[in-house]
Amino acid sequence: MSEQDRKRWTQRYAEGAYAERSHPSRLLEQKLGEIRRQHVAGPVPRALDLACGRGRNALFLAEQGYQVDAVDIASNALMTAPQVAEPETADIRWIEHDLDLGLPETCTDYDLILIVRYLDLALLAQAGDHLRPGGSLLCEVHLQTDQEVAGPGNPDFRVAPGALREAVRGLEIQYEEEGLVSDPDGRQVALARIIARRPA
């Protein structure tokens, strides 16, 4: 990501972007129980939330008992996120990092990796290598569409049909969906969503 992009995101968060979106991904809420039953590691599972923004999904996972690494390029988003966390439940490490450079070297051995509303197919393909055996990768991104929907107007920030499946080759696909979805805030969005698991 260029320095210009970093400044743009920092400015957006400074202006309050996404501050009202405190709910976690609906797919994550619906599928976490299934995902967790497939973990083969110890009693405290580890999760990685990539492009976490203000941390809505990281906070949800911490409340469910996960140790979470939450990564984003916008330092001000990370600085404000912990203020809404309950201290006794928030086992979260906030990491400022440019994901265009790949994953931080310290980010390894996860039971769950999230990429929600951030499109980088190369990063998605790389993420599977950072899962523990039996670990799951959950990705949800905006889908190309000719429908009137919320989300980015620039087609570069929307994924083509079938692209997520191609990016997670080598993992076992547990769930896949592409189409129109109603967000918890009532907005209609076009999403590509996939959950894939590293064989145990």
- Positive or negative: CA dihedral 24, 30, 31, 32: positive
DSSP 8-state symbol, 106: T
The reported pLDDT for the residue numbered 139 is 98
Each residue of 165-177: pLDDT tens digit?
A: 999 999 999 999 9
pLDDT at 162 over 90: yes
Alpha helices in 116-176 (DSSP H): 121-127, 163-167
The reported pLDDT for the residue numbered 2 is 52
Each residue of 147-160: pLDDT tens digit?
A: 999 999 888 999 99
The long-range contacts involving 76-79, CB below 8 angstroms and separated by at least 24 positions, are 76/10, 76/13, 76/14, 77/9, 77/13, 77/52, 77/53, 78/52
Q: Which of 36-40, 72-76, 81-85, 169-173 has the highest mean pLDDT?
A: 169-173
Residue 170 has phi, psi (to 5 degrees) of 100, -15
Could you tell me the pLDDT band of residue 144, with boundaries at 50, 70 and 90? very high
Each residue of 113-140: pLDDT tens digit?
A: 999 999 999 999 999 999 999 999 999 9
In this prediction, what percent of the chain has a pLDDT beyond 90? 60
Structure tokens at 11: 């400015």
Of 24, 28, 52, which is closest to residue 118 (Cα–Cα)?
A: 52
Each residue of 6-62: pLDDT tens digit?
A: 555 455 544 544 545 567 999 999 999 999 998 876 778 999 999 998 889 999 999
The reported pLDDT for the residue numbered 16 is 47
CB atoms within 10 A of CB 65: 12
**Strand 46-50's sheet: what is its strand order?**
92-96, 67-72, 46-50, 110-116, 131-142, 188-197, 172-182
- The answer to whether the CB of 145 falls within 8 A of the CB of 157 is no
pLDDT at 181 over 90: yes
pLDDT at 85 over 90: no
Q: How far is CA 14 from CA 77, 83, 151, 175, in A?
A: 8, 15, 20, 36
Q: Which domains are delineated in the chain? A: 3-197 (3.40.50.150)
